[in-house]
Amino acid sequence: MLVSATEMLNKAKAGKYAVGQFNINNLEWTKAVLITAKENKSPVILGVSEGAGKYMGGYDTIVGMVKGLIKDLDIDVPVALHLDHGSYEHAKLCIEAGFSSVMFDGSHYSIEENIAKTTELVAYAHSKGVSIEAEVGSIGGEEDGVVGKGEVADAKECKMIADLGVDMLAAGIGNIHGKYPDNWTGLDFKALDEIQKLTGTLPLVLHGGTGISEAMIKESISLGVSKINVNTECQLTFAAATRKYIEEGKDLSGKGFDPRKLLAPGYEAIKNTVKEKMDLFGSIGKA
């Protein structure tokens, strides 16, 4: 069954490790993440952007697929199904569809409007047993049409949002979506430390986990980050493995490519990437 992310993240915060959120885009992707979590006894969060939700046929379809895989694959670790960078409207839709966790990204609103919308969604999510993530200070880069300038969040505004009762908080600290440019100056740990001091035991979220060095990941976890999002790295490894398979022509026949064989290398690549990240985040064996 699906669970909210609250308990797993509270345990991660107390235990000084992070739970990985791995964004999913199809059945193979989802199966790879779930199987890897089971094999490594790690809690896991399946992230779904609005764009991915549309691509996969809608939120009801995704809930049915994930629940079916959990049952048929006998997944025995905590799994949260989470809307990533959701709008106000889509956060509600996902709660109604059966997601166990949602993110409302109100970082592009004024702090007053962000507070007002977050307050309403916290009440609605919690009435359904759903965990909720909020954001202060937009994350840089672009992901599925959501564009952020890479702001460093104001610690006092973070506390204002934290005090609304959210279960986790994404705070911009110089992190970006996608691949990091060569001139990237790194994460602002001074800002992260200040945010943690004001928000206390609330789990913090690091978006843009691809391309951040091992040292910075560990430093982030030591300063309160309990959830780390990984998307781009999975996309790159999946695409590279699939492209290599096609270029080598391993499945060429008079009938063309068997889609089950075509996507198998990408499936294995996702599993390897997820395991590496779980090991780095320290979540292996924590289920």
Confidence at 210, pLDDT banded by 50, 70, 90: confident
Segment 65-83, tens digit of pLDDT: 999 999 999 999 999 999 9
156 belongs to a structural domain? yes
80 belongs to a structural domain? yes
Report the Cα 189 to chain-centroid distance in Å.
21
Confidence at 257, pLDDT banded by 50, 70, 90: low
Is residue 252 scored above 70 in pLDDT? Answer: no
pLDDT, average across residues 162-176: 91
What is the percentage of the chain residues whose pLDDT exceeds 70?
89
Confidence at 143, pLDDT banded by 50, 70, 90: very low
- How many domains is the chain partitioned into structurally? 1
What is the percentage of the chain residues whose pLDDT exceeds 90?
74
pLDDT, average across residues 149-174: 89
Max CA pair span of the chain: 64
Confidence at 107, pLDDT banded by 50, 70, 90: confident
Indicate whether this model's pTM tops 0.85.
yes
- Quick one: three-class SS letters along the chain? CECCCHHHHHHHHHHCCCEEEEECCCHHHHHHHHHHHHHCCCCEEEEEEHHHHHHCCCHHHHHHHHHHHHHHCCCCCCEEEEEEEECHHHHHHHHHHCCCEEEECCCCCCHHHHHHHHHHHHHHHHHCCCEEEEEECCCEEEECCEEECCCECCHHHHHHHHCCCCCEEEECECCECCCCCCCCCCCCHHHHHHHHHHHCCCCEEECCCCCCCHHHHHHHHHCCEEEEEECHHHHHHHHHHHHHHHHHCCCCCCCCCCHHHHCHHHHHHHHHHHHHHHHHHCCCCCC
Q: How, if at all, do strands 141-143 and 146-148 pair?
A: antiparallel
Is residue 146 scored above 50 in pLDDT? Answer: no
Confidence at 256, pLDDT banded by 50, 70, 90: low
pLDDT, average across residues 175-189: 73
Is residue 278 scored above 90 in pLDDT? Answer: yes
Is residue 147 scored above 60 in pLDDT? Answer: no
Cα dist from 200 to 20, 55, 64, 155, whole Å: 21, 38, 36, 12
Segment 42-52, tens digit of pLDDT: 999 999 999 99
Distance CA 202, CA 196 (A): 8
244 belongs to a structural domain? no
Asked if 220 and 187 touch (Cβ cutoff 8 Å), the reply is yes
144 belongs to a structural domain? yes
136 belongs to a structural domain? yes
247 belongs to a structural domain? no
Distance CA 29, CA 41 (A): 18
Residues annotated as part of the active site: 84
pLDDT, average across residues 97-103: 98
Distance CA 220, CA 212 (A): 10
201 belongs to a structural domain? yes
258 belongs to a structural domain? no
pLDDT, average across residues 85-108: 95
Which residue shows structure tokens 């199904």? 81
Q: How, if at all, do strands 168-171 and 101-104 pair?
A: unpaired
| Structure confidence at residue 213 (pLDDT) | 87
- Angle, alpha carbons 71-74-80 (nearest 5°): 70
For residue 142, the enclosing domain spans 6-234+270-281
| Structure confidence at residue 202 (pLDDT) | 98
Residues in the chain: 287
Phi then psi dihedrals of residue 16, to 5 deg: 60, 45
| Structure confidence at residue 149 (pLDDT) | 45
Is residue 34 scored above 90 in pLDDT? Answer: yes
- CATH at 52: 3.20.20.70
